């Protein structure tokens, strides 16, 4: 279990007074202090980590968020923002001495602007609700994390969420055009707008994906796109994962960017097939799903080209969907892969590294060796187009030591990702889960630079401390400039 910041005893001692003050800001059911009720917020989708918060506050207006944050700043109380609680990296893990700021009551779509193809939503609106709101206009919101029925757009902004379609259509950051957020000082700041770009520093670019460390989002404007007129999927079986990976590289090398491109390994194929009967090739070592979207002329043309490339790369089987129903069936297995793998094992850990695609074969081989070392099985499901791996490590939390073994296995996988030129997380975020691995990817100066950005937004380090960075930042120290009054900072260095 990772250590969280030491609870502030002085804050805990004032709990009753703090709750009373928060009640004045968010009256009625806006403040939750009962032991049992608070426990509903003790974790997000990273369920291995739990902590009951000191108090839960559910504001309804931006003005309330402003007052809550001002109060917390003035009283040095830590704040953990939470959307729908679907984070896979523990981004919304509460603190024992912290206010859990739940944004679920911000659940309205504020404006649909068809002419400018954008939607203004409150942060608690679900990802899928945005697409539903505009589908009558032939539009949709492109980023589609697999939790899109439940996850909130505010949470998507915090985590810079991806999804199956992000190789072609981008992550959250490429589709959010405006954010209103409240700083820990209680200032309301708007970044971006319905227009393109800005004439200022791209703070919107850093706010997206900042995991609740920089501010609390109170409104989000997203760009929506015309819905593609059609799509077809190909189910391609390969006798080896490497063959499937080479095929992916060849598709991209030939100039095709599919709407989605997913690989599942044998264990994942078998689990998914047993679960949904999608017609997956059971003998295959790897299954590649390629989806092509657009007008029929384009889709049919590209399906033929991908079929040819697959055949040239040793595909053992290849089926193209002949109807919308069949396309959805092809996807049903992939979309159910996590719960299907869940039936193989009482528990699993979902990893999220990204690697250069050319390394897929080598990384999977090393993963096999690690399976033997840790005595645990791995099912692999990944967004092959962008090299984003989701190894699912199967374990049983009821067996002593197995969770810890699974976590060490996961750490080794992520170290391996960085070693081959990749990164710790492609779309799930660092949160608490990968926090202590940040040193694997970044040196002290890199992390200090990121923390100085944190200091510019939240000098007292009250917003979501204990996430992302392996060590709490001390802004006064980070801000100190050792160059003063003409004294050379490094007198040993050669001068010009």
User: Among residue numbers 134 through 153, which ones bind other proteins (CB under 8 A)?
Assistant: 137-139
User: Among residue numbers 306 through 325, which ones bind other proteins (CB under 8 A)?
Assistant: none
Nearer to other proteins, 87 or 122 (CB): 87
Q: Does 171 bind other proteins (CB under 8 A)?
A: yes
Q: Does 429 bind other proteins (CB under 8 A)?
A: yes
Q: Does 120 bind other proteins (CB under 8 A)?
A: no
Q: Does 358 bind other proteins (CB under 8 A)?
A: yes
59, 102, 281, 422: residue in contact with other proteins (rule CB under 8 A): 422
Q: Does 170 bind other proteins (CB under 8 A)?
A: yes
User: Among residue numbers 386 through 415, which ones bind other proteins (CB under 8 A)?
Assistant: 386-388
Query: Binding segment for other proteins among 11-19, 53-61, 163-171, 307-315 (CB under 8 A)?
Result: 163-171
Nearer to other proteins, 9 or 482 (CB): 482
Contact pattern from residue 246 through residue 275 relative to other proteins, giving x for each residue in contact according to CB under 8 A and a dash for the rest: ---xx-xx-xxx------------------
Taking alpha carbons only, the member of 342, 455, 330 closest to residue 392 is 342
Q: Does 450 bind other proteins (CB under 8 A)?
A: yes
Nearer to other proteins, 29 or 113 (CB): 113
Tokens (6 digits) for 289: 């799903």
Query: Min. distance of Cβ 250 from other proteins in angstroms?
Result: 8
428, 433, 461, 467: residue in contact with other proteins (rule CB under 8 A): 428
Q: Does 159 bind other proteins (CB under 8 A)?
A: yes
Q: Does 427 bind other proteins (CB under 8 A)?
A: yes
Q: Does 489 bind other proteins (CB under 8 A)?
A: yes
Q: Does 229 bind other proteins (CB under 8 A)?
A: yes
Q: Does 13 bind other proteins (CB under 8 A)?
A: no
Q: Does 194 bind other proteins (CB under 8 A)?
A: yes
Nearer to other proteins, 18 or 93 (CB): 93
Q: Does 221 bind other proteins (CB under 8 A)?
A: no
210, 218, 461, 464: residue in contact with other proteins (rule CB under 8 A): 210
Query: Min. distance of Cβ 486 from other proteins in angstroms?
Result: 6
Query: Binding segment for other proteins among 5-13, 69-77, 226-234, 364-372 (CB under 8 A)?
Result: 226-234
Task: Report the 3 state secondary structure along the chain.
Answer: CCCCCCCCHHHHHCHHHHHHHHHHHCCHHHEECCHHHHHCCCCCCCCCCCCCCCEEECCCCHHHHHHHHHHHHHCCCEEEEECCCCCCCCCCCCCCCEEEEECCCCCCEEEEECCCCEEEECCCCEHHHHHHHHHHHCEECCCCCCCCCCCEHHHHHHHCCCCCCHHHHCCHHHCEEEEEEECCCCCEEEEECCCCCCCCCCHHHHHCCCCCCCCEEEEEEEECEECCCEEEEEEEEECCHHHHHHHHHHHHHCCCCCCEEEEEEHHHHHHHHHHHCCCCCCCCCEEEEEEEEECHHHHHHHHHHHHHHHHHCCCCEEEECCCHHHHHHHHHHHHCHHHHHHCCCCEEEECCCECCHHHHHHHHHHHHHHHHHHCCCEEEEEEHHHCEEEEEEEECCCCCCHHHHHHHHHHHHHHHHHHCCCECCCCCCCCCCCHHHHHHHCCHHHHHHHHHHHHHHCCCCCECCCCCCCCCCCHHHHHCCCCCCCCCCCCCCCCC
3, 372, 490, 492: residue in contact with other proteins (rule CB under 8 A): 490
Q: Does 96 bind other proteins (CB under 8 A)?
A: no
Question: By CB under 8 A, how many residues form the interface with other proteins?
Answer: 108
């Amino acid at each position: 279990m990772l250590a969280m910041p030491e609870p502030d005893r002085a804050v805990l001692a004032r709990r009753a007074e703090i709750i009373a003050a928060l009640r004045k800001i968010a009256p009625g059911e806006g403040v939750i202090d009962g032991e049992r009720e608070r426990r509903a917020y003790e974790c997000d989708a990273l369920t291995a980590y739990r902590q009951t918060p000191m108090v839960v506050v559910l504001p309804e207006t931006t003005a309330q968020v402003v007052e809550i944050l001002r109060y917390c700043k003035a009283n040095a109380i830590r704040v953990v923002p939470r959307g729908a609680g679907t984070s896979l990296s523990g981004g919304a893990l509460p603190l024992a001495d912290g206010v859990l700021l739940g944004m679920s009551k911000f659940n309205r779509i504020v404006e649909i602007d068809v002419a400018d193809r954008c939607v203004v939503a409150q942060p608690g609106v679900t990802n899928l609700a945005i697409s539903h709101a505009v589908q009558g206009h032939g539009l949709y919101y492109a980023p589609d994390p697999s939790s899109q029925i439940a996850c909130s757009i505010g949470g998507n902004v915090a985590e810079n969420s991806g999804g199956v379609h992000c190789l072609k259509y981008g992550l959250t950051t490429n589709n959010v055009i405006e954010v209103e957020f409240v700083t820990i000082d209680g200032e309301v700041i708007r970044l971006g707008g319905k227009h393109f770009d800005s004439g200022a520093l791209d703070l919107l670019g850093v706010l997206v994906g900042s995991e609740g460390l920089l501010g609390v989002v109170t409104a989000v404007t997203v760009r929506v796109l015309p819905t593609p007129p059609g799509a077809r999927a190909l189910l391609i079986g390969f006798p080896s994962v490497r063959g499937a990976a080479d095929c992916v590289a060849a598709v991209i090398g030939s100039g095709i960017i599919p709407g989605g491109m997913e690989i599942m390994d044998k264990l994942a194929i078998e689990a998914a097939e047993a679960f949904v009967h999608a017609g997956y090739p059971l003998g295959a070592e790897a299954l590649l799903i390629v989806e092509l979207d657009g007008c029929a002329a384009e889709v049919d043309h590209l399906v033929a080209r991908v079929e040819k490339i697959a055949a040239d790369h040793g595909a053992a089987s290849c089926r193209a969907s002949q109807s919308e129903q069949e396309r959805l069936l092809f996807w049903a297995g992939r979309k159910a892969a996590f719960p299907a793998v869940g039936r193989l094992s009482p528990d699993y850990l979902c990893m999220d590294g990204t690697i250069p695609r050319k390394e897929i074969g080598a990384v999977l081989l090393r993963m096999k060796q690690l399976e033997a070392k840790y005595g645990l099985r791995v099912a692999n499901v990944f967004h092959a187009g962008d090299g984003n791996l989701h190894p699912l490590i199967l374990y049983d939390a009821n067996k002593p030591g197995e969770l810890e073994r699974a976590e060490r296995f996961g750490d080794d996988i992520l170290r391996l990702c960085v070693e081959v030129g990749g990164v710790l997380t492609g779309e799930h975020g660092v949160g608490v889960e990968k926090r202590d691995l940040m040193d694997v990817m970044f040196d002290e100066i890199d992390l200090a630079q990121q923390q100085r950005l944190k200091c510019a937004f939240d000098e007292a380090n009250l917003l979501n401390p204990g996430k992302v960075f392996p060590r709490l930042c001390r802004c006064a120290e980070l801000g100190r400039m050792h160059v003063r009054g003409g004294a050379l900072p490094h007198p040993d260095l050669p001068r010009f």
